Chain A
């Protein structure tokens, strides 16, 4: 399931597992929940750093862009150390996790995170004080609280407008860690930037707390959904907002899967944000939504039990006008 996206693979696997575990009425152990918190939050740090660097690039700050991506490398190192993969990392299993964190991994993670935290605090100061940043971002692409609620936007876009939407506040383990969503009121690109930077610092703190609360028990055995029949929905808070999965399974075979990625909910608000703005603001406004087109555009064709991933252009060349096999959109 993590193959849906290269930036937020864990969010998809967590939402999928939420779905299956709710459907099969499995409640994983606290240790497993905390491990998922750690991976989700590391992913958020990674994604927000990537986004802020990208935003700095759009604004013309090439150096700041490189600085952010340099720090992002450290979070990728952490992923490599604890999961073995830098991009398509996955750690979660039904009812359990692949393996436990060792003391060595924990120390490595804390050391790297301390470095990232120090740097991000400095960059946050830059964003708060730099007058050119403010001139380019303030009042650009504003969406009011009412507008955001009406449009049904999710994630940092909604929280930048003061709408208190976050899947994490409905999850008991996050409440135990004292989680409160980060909110800004104004709803412009600047507010969304601040939300993401503040969330990065909050995520670092959440990882530390999750590590300190980790029980010293052994991991439970992996589960399997062989033979299970259920129909369920699951969610997780991806870096871009709420990720929604729907699964219908019969006798352990998935009959219908539906994924609603956060960008799909957010992109509709773009039209209203662009109205009346200048051409130069378009990249800033589009960028401030943190769109992930990778998970909106591709299709996967399943033919004779083999999956084939392709772009729209390839799909058109190969299948339009011919007999179409069953097509699963990655949505």
Chain B
């Protein structure tokens, strides 16, 4: 597992030159931890980005990894994390179109970003 900041993410991901497997969002005390998992079983690398709970914004990597578009939209739906550069981020993926409530997996009633 390697900690990177928002700006370094794409550079490090490009260096790894592996397939994006999944993005996992975990809510810890006052931050969101985003684990980007690349590569095959046993040879995988994890890049970790942290975003503050109050205003969680990270850069999208869908330009380099097209599959990230859906992963990011899912995380936006359920946690309200903003991915800067993802054009279809605000189209609901799993939640109903007219859903107005807080992000359902987020702990502690925040409004949808």
Contact = CB atoms under 8 A, between A and B. Distances in A.
Interface in B1-42: 19-22, 24-27, 35, 37, 40-42
A331 interface: yes
B37 A233 contact: yes
23 contacts: A151-B66, A151-B67, A152-B65, A152-B67, A165-B19, A165-B40, A167-B41, A170-B42, A170-B43, A260-B22, A268-B67, A268-B69, A297-B94, A315-B96, A316-B99, A319-B101, A321-B101, A322-B101, A323-B101, A324-B101, A324-B102, A328-B105, A329-B74
Given A265-B67, A268-B66, A315-B96, A170 B19 contact: no
Interface string A267-285: 1100000000000000000
A235 interface: yes
Nearest to A231: B26
Interface residues of B, number: 32
A258 B21 CA distance: 12
A320 interface: yes
A107 B66 CA distance: 47
A327 B19 contact: no
A297 B99 CA distance: 15
Interface in B88-112: 94, 96, 98-102, 104-105
Nearest to B74: A331
Given A324-B102, A326-B105, A258 B24 contact: yes
Contact of A324 (B27, B37, B104): B104
Contacts of A258: 22, 24-25
Contacts of A235: 41
Nearest to A245: B22
Contacts of A327: 78, 104-105
Given A320-B99, A323-B101, 4 more contacts: A244-B22, A244-B37, A246-B24, A268-B66
A267 B70 contact: yes
Interface string A43-57: 000000000000000
Contact of A329 (B42, B69, B94): B94
Nearest to B94: A329
Interface string A83-95: 0000000000000
A242 interface: yes
A1 interface: no
B109 to A, nearest CB: 9
A150 interface: yes
B94 A331 contact: yes
Interface of A: 149-153, 165, 167, 170-171, 233, 235, 242, 244, 246, 248, 256, 258, 260, 264-265, 267-268, 297, 299, 312, 315-316, 319-324, 326-329, 331
Contacts of A265: 67
Contacts of A153: 67
Contacts of A149: 19
A326 B22 contact: no
Max count, chain A CB within 10 A of own CB: residue among B20, B24, B26, B101:
B24
A171 B41 CA distance: 8
Given A233-B44, A329-B94, A256 B19 contact: no
Contacts of A319: 101
A262 B105 CA distance: 22
A299 B105 contact: no
A260 B24 CA distance: 9
A312 B92 CA distance: 12
3 nearest A-B pairs in the assembled complex, by CB-CB distance:
A327-B104, A152-B67, A260-B22
Interface string B42-85: 11100000000000000000000111011100100010000000
B78 A150 contact: no
A252 to B, nearest CB: 18
B41 A170 contact: yes
B96 A320 contact: yes
Nearest to A323: B101
A319 B101 CA distance: 9
Contacts of B43: 170
A151 B43 CA distance: 20
